[in-house]
Structure 1
Amino acid sequence: MRNSLLFLLVVLLLSGCIPRSRTDIPAFSGTLVDSISGVPLGGASINEQADPAAEGWTPQSLRTEDDGRFNYPALTSGTVYQLPAPGAGWPVSRTMIFHKEGYRDTTCRCTNMSLFGKENEAVIPLVRIDQSELSTEEPLLLHLSDSIVCQAFVGSQVLYQDTLYLIGEIYRQGQYDGNPLLLTLRSVPPNEGGIVLAVEDYRVQLAPPVQPAEE
């Protein structure tokens, strides 16, 4: 039996295939912070979802540590023999819903390919309710990294053409749901400098604040 397994392994290696663990639900870790000050937010509740949900998987509800940290390891199952290729497999996602008293509830989604086995970490900014005006449109999903997107609201800090702005308004051009969401951006600090109008959401990136240095 052992000789048969060794023979099979040699055949697979010679054919260019390599063994990989299949990722059913990607890893997702990071630090939850105030969107403006960068102060870590401890004690925030996190509820998770997955798409597709692995068989027998149970969502975990956690709270962030005192330093704002959270950690959800990847869920992997089985070994797949695959030709070397980046981003192979099919998309698997893990969605986190962050809740902290005094802040807007914020949903973030991490998406990887099932055979990529990538670690995912981000600084997740939450917007204070008193700094965020309600928009008539749904919040945007903007990129924090190549694999992580989070909701952005009026008052969220964003990067556009390498410059930091605040979202001033979220609206649609026309009355149809299929029309793209557009933004107005205010300079930071507000009311200093001009306003960029009609920026399509895919050209804007959510900007996590730099965490304050430890004393």
Structure 2
Amino acid sequence: MDELQEKRRRIRDLMQYAVPDDQKAQAHDLLVIFREDRLALEVFDEFYRCLPEGQDDWIKELRLVGRKAGIFLLAAVTSLDAYLYLISSEGIEFHGSIGEGYLDKELLHFFDFSSAEEFSEQVKKIENFLVYEPVQVDSDTCPACHAATGEEHELGCPVEVCPWCGGQLIHCECRFAQLDVEELTTDQDLIRFEELLQQKGRIVYTPEQRPAFADEGPGVEFQ
């Protein structure tokens, strides 16, 4: 069983105890929609494990409050409230309910909110933020590292294109040729290679780089 299958199984198990019986089918459909989206699955897992209000609840939709450099601020809209999660490939952090309207100064600046007051006013109308789309249908997001169109990939992303040969950067031989080594063995090798990449000019993410994803929609049975 792969990592995503295991996470989906765990979420389904948690949902059996967290989601009201009359909402289980809808909650399951949302899980199916996001079945290949690692970020969304992390939010589902965190929410259903912790249940912020300590009572039965379910995620109705996800809203995109902010994103930059592969880091997302998502709102899980539930039957009771909406809750903020900061998430990236590095992990997930819970940042309270929308009703609290609070985000620390560093994150406000990172996501280009001019002030705490502006943020508080905007999130009061969570419906004005875009619905977060699953990675398999959002062509403007790298399916591996979640870089947006025009952003650099996270180093090591399997989708990144090599600026020297045009192949997959993690599979071609250019990193060895550029460093004149047979293998990369130290952090200094990686730092030097990243410097060379920047000097050459890294190829930013574009939708044309995406691999194909099957998207069979809600109602699909999966393990």
Does TM-score exceed 0.5, indicating one fold? no
More strand per residue: 1 or 2? 1
Scaled by the length of structure 2, the TM-score of the pair is 0.27
Structure with bigger RCO (C-alpha 8 Å, 6+ apart): 1
More helix per residue: 1 or 2? 2
Structure with higher Rg: it is 1
Scaled by the length of structure 1, the TM-score of the pair is 0.27
